[in-house]
Amino acid sequence: MTNLLILPILIPLFTAIILMFISKYVKVQRGVSSLSTLATIAASLVLINTISNDGIQTINLGSWVAPFGITLVSDMLSALLVTTTSIITLVVLLYSFKSIGADRERFYYYPVVQFLLVGVNGAFTTGDIFNLFVFFEVMLMSSYVLLVLGGTKAQLREGIKYILVNVISSALFVIAVAYLYSVVGTLNMADISRKIADLNQPGILTAIAIMFLLVFGLKGAIFPLYFWLPGSYYAPPTPVLALFGALLTKVGIYSILRTYTLFFYHDTGYTHEILSMLAILTIVLGCIGAIAYWDVKKIIIYNIIIAVGVILFGVSTMNPEALEGAIYYLVHDMIIKAALFLLVGVMIAITGTADLKKMGGLIKEYPWLGWTFLVAAFSLAGIPPLSGFIGKLLILRGSFAAEAYVGAGVILASSLVVLYSVVKIFLNGIWGTPKEYNGISKGHARYLWMTSAILVVLAVCYGFGAEAVRPLFSQAAEVLVNPNLYIDAVLKE
Amino acid sequence: MKTNDVILQTVTTIVSFIIILFSIQLFFAGHYTPGGGFIGGLMSSGALVLLLLAFDIKTVNTILPIDYRLLTAIGLLLAVGTGAGALLFDVPFLTHAYDYFHLPLLGETSLHTAVIFDTGVYFVVIGITMTIIQTIGVSE
């Protein structure tokens, strides 16, 4: 079927539109949105299967041939990310049923989540640089709404900052695309790559590469451009935070990964050097933040920044093994960050506070929650055989092979800090002397825990089944190492 | 003292009619000359805004009882539905079709599915603009 790879974009889009008609019927909305997200997952799994059998899938929208129309390209990397995104969205939806509150649900919460899914899936799938911008905007607009929906004071304050930063970075994105277009004269990503190869990447293209790094770095929160993230992510309610933490920055990382392996791979001495330095600094800063705070949400938020650094360092080495590790770690990080935010959300819902010093002894009343959190924490830190291990191992092996010892050392040290920061939550919040809490009831907490445990189970399976899914990841990395595969698939030569 | 805006209201009833006709003309001209769904929709909502200025929200709602949020959703459904219609024929998404028909009065006319897509855009633009203006107008 020619249109298979557009289904993960089209199904949520249709759902969002239909949900707009029935915005007052909360129960129907819940049913429709979870069923359609299931359908999205099914479609993306079929897509993975098709790609692993027949190679990269492309579709020329409107039947206009490749460099002239918009092409959607789904290689294994895109398909894996689309699948992960859809699964996380489903779990977050299930979690929202009992945590987001009827007020928000009646004011277009579910349609906006579906629009967010459209934006993220579209950004992962598109093969056109301007279309990438449009899908970025679809995603960002939905995230603006999700961030301010509810209208508490903190949400409005952080909403203004978040919108301001993203409007500026979107303007920079348009300018960068304009520069690129004036140099190469095309917008199709495969065609851009071919034109850049013909020109052998002159100086102006290196400048454009840095500009793209600036743009996507603002979206993906790398070192000097991460400043908006801790505040903005602190404001929204838990399910929204889980969506943001798991998906939004990852789209920025994906875009850096794509542009730096598909476009700007000729003169890596300058661009990739800068990328690797920024990645190391990002890890260091994230570590400082993760240690410094006694606030459970803040700790996990700074862990996002660490993971961004780790993945981008893997990208910057341009080593096949490190690239594979980066993809592996990217998927792992999406799942585990969503799981951790949801679990931390359960803790906050029970205790009524995000301050670690006011928590304690949750293990007595809620043992299942405590042990799930511990598994998730170990998985985040990369303890074998859990899911964070293999990705980091591959990144490390790749960076040793590329003789990037400083970065490898920082990554190893950062794992300890990550472990310390999450075990701090475990020891202070879950262990220790029990306190009086007047949050949600036990049954309510159990429901929230069960939905978040789905992701933890998934992360554990992902770690144990690393060998089984390895061919998929090798196939994904192969395209990054050899851009001609991508170009030939799109331009059909 | 109650202001008497009989001149404004009389002129508005005539002018808004002309503006809407012009916006529909722009909308249908889009394929061959400058115009299209976006500018057509903006101009139509311009006419509606003029009505809002001359009268008040309640009166305009009784003249045109439209839920603009639903209008937005209908517009999206039209636009995406046209694109997704391609799926039925197993051609890539957004592939359009056209043909020549002999219509009474109009004679030989080219009909293109892009017009349905554009109608979607037209509705979305009106829906969004009016939702924004009415929401700002009502909230204290």
ipTM for the whole complex: 0.92
- Å from B18 to nearest chain A CA? 32
Which of A433, A415, A411, A413 minimizes the C-alpha distance to A423? A415
Backbone angles phi, psi at B101, to 5 degrees: -125, 150
CB pair distance less than 8 Å for B92 and A14:
no
| Closest A-chain CA to B81 | A14
| Closest B-chain CA to A60 | B92
Instruction: Give SS3 for A269.
Output: helix
Residue range A430-456, pLDDT digits in tens? 888 888 787 788 888 899 999 999 999
Q: How far apart are CA A319 and CA A241, in angstroms?
A: 33
**A107 touches A23 (CB < 8 A):** yes
User: Is residue A35 one of the residues assigned to a domain?
Assistant: no
Task: Please tell me if residue A20 touches chain B, with a CB cutoff of 8 Å.
Answer: yes
Residue range B71-115, pLDDT digits in tens? 999 999 999 999 998 888 889 998 988 888 888 888 888 888 899
What integer pLDDT is reported at residue A268 of this predicted model?
A: 83
For residue A17, give the nearest of B73, B92, B94 by CB distance. Answer: B73
Which residues from B are below 8 Å from A13, CB to CB?
A: 80
Task: Please tell me if residue B39 touches chain A, with a CB cutoff of 8 Å.
Answer: no
Please report, for residues A38, A261, A362, A432, the alpha-carbon distance to residue A435 in angstroms, rounded to integers and kept in the order given. Answer: 40, 52, 8, 9
Residue B83 CA from chain centroid, whole number: 19
**By residue range, what is the domain housing residue A412?**
267-482
Which residues from A are below 8 Å from B87, CB to CB?
A: 3
CB pair distance less than 8 Å for B80 and A60:
no
Higher pLDDT pick, B139 / A66: A66
Q: How many CB atoms within 10 Å of residue A326? A: 30
Give every CB contact of residue B134 below 8 A, 6+ residues apart in sequence: B52, B57, B68
Quote the mean pLDDT of chain B. Answer: 91
Element (H, E) at B103: strand B98-103
What integer pLDDT is reported at residue A493 of this predicted model?
A: 63
CB pair distance less than 8 Å for A3 and B86:
yes
Task: Please tell me if residue A174 touches chain B, with a CB cutoff of 8 Å.
Answer: no
- Å from B71 to nearest chain A CA? 10
Q: How far apart are CA A448 and CA A363, in angstroms?
A: 16
Q: How far apart are CA A57 and CA A150, in angstroms?
A: 41
Please tell me the total count of domains within chain A.
Answer: 1
- Å from A138 to nearest chain B CA? 14
User: Per-residue confidence of chain A (493 residues) as pLDDT tens digits?
Assistant: 788 999 999 999 999 999 999 988 999 999 999 999 999 999 999 999 999 999 999 999 988 998 899 999 999 999 999 999 999 999 999 999 999 888 888 899 999 999 999 999 999 999 999 999 999 999 999 999 999 999 899 999 999 999 999 999 999 999 999 999 999 999 999 999 999 999 888 889 999 999 999 999 999 999 889 999 999 999 999 999 999 999 999 999 999 999 999 999 988 888 989 999 999 999 999 999 999 999 999 999 999 999 999 999 999 988 899 999 999 999 999 999 999 999 999 999 998 888 888 888 888 888 999 999 999 999 999 888 888 899 999 999 999 998 889 999 999 999 999 999 999 999 988 888 888 787 788 888 899 999 999 999 999 999 999 889 999 999 999 999 999 999 999 998 6
Q: How many CB atoms within 10 Å of residue A418? A: 26
Task: Please tell me if residue A472 touches chain B, with a CB cutoff of 8 Å.
Answer: no
Q: Can you list the pairs that A464-470 forms with residues at least 24 positions away whose Cβ atoms lie under 8 Å?
A: A464/A385, A466/A328, A466/A385, A466/A387, A466/A390
What is the 8-class DSSP label of residue A352? S
Task: Please tell me if residue A200 touches chain B, with a CB cutoff of 8 Å.
Answer: no
CB pair distance less than 8 Å for B80 and A17:
yes
Task: Please tell me if residue B90 touches chain A, with a CB cutoff of 8 Å.
Answer: yes
Owner of token pair 């009166």: B59
User: Is residue A66 one of the residues assigned to a domain?
Assistant: no
CB pair distance less than 8 Å for B92 and A13:
no
B1 has pLDDT over 80: no
Please report, for residues A7, A19, A36, A58, A347, the alpha-carbon distance to residue A13 in angstroms, rounded to integers and kept in the order given. Answer: 9, 10, 10, 20, 33
What is the 8-class DSSP label of residue A426? I
For residue B77, give the nearest of A3, A6, A17 by CB distance. Answer: A17
pTM for the predicted model, two decimal places: 0.95
Label residue B140 by pLDDT band (50, 70, 90). Answer: low
For residue A2, give the nearest of B70, B90, B96 by CB distance. Answer: B90
- Å from B133 to nearest chain A CA? 18
What integer pLDDT is reported at residue A442 of this predicted model?
A: 85
CB pair distance less than 8 Å for B76 and A61:
no
What integer pLDDT is reported at residue B124 of this predicted model?
A: 96
Which of A324, A230, A336, A226 minimizes the C-alpha distance to A281? A226
Residue range A10-67, pLDDT digits in tens? 999 999 999 999 988 999 999 999 999 999 999 999 999 999 999 999 999 988 998 8
Radius of gyration of chain B (CA): 18
User: Is residue A43 one of the residues assigned to a domain?
Assistant: no
User: Is residue A14 one of the residues assigned to a domain?
Assistant: no
Which residues from A are below 8 Å from B91, CB to CB?
A: 2, 63
Task: Please tell me if residue B97 touches chain A, with a CB cutoff of 8 Å.
Answer: no
Which residues from A are below 8 Å from B128, CB to CB?
A: none
Cis before A385 (ω within 30): yes
Give every CB contact of residue A321 below 8 A, 6+ residues apart in sequence: A394, A397, A398, A401
- Å from B73 to nearest chain A CA? 6
In DSSP terms, A57 is beta-bridged to A74
User: Is residue A236 one of the residues assigned to a domain?
Assistant: no
Task: Please tell me if residue A90 touches chain B, with a CB cutoff of 8 Å.
Answer: no
Interface probe for A, chosen from B71, B72, B74, B93 (most Cβ of A below 10 Å), is B93
Crossing angle between the packed helical segments A249-262 and A296-317, to the nearest 10 degrees: 10
CB pair distance less than 8 Å for B92 and A17:
no
| Closest B-chain CA to A62 | B95
What is the DSSP annotation of A202-252? -HHHHHHHHHHHHHHHHHHT-GGG-TTHHHHHHSS-HHHHHHIIIIIHHHH
% residues pLDDT > 90 (chain B): 64
Amino acid at site A125: T
What integer pLDDT is reported at residue A362 of this predicted model?
A: 87
User: Is residue A231 one of the residues assigned to a domain?
Assistant: no
Which residues from A are below 8 Å from B78, CB to CB?
A: none
**Token representation of residue A368:** 């299942």
Interface probe for B, chosen from A17, A24, A59, A141 (most Cβ of B below 10 Å), is A17
What integer pLDDT is reported at residue A200 of this predicted model?
A: 84
CB pair distance less than 8 Å for B84 and A10:
yes
- Å from B15 to nearest chain A CA? 33
For residue A17, give the nearest of B76, B93, B96 by CB distance. Answer: B76
- Å from B139 to nearest chain A CA? 14
What is the 8-class DSSP label of residue A75? -
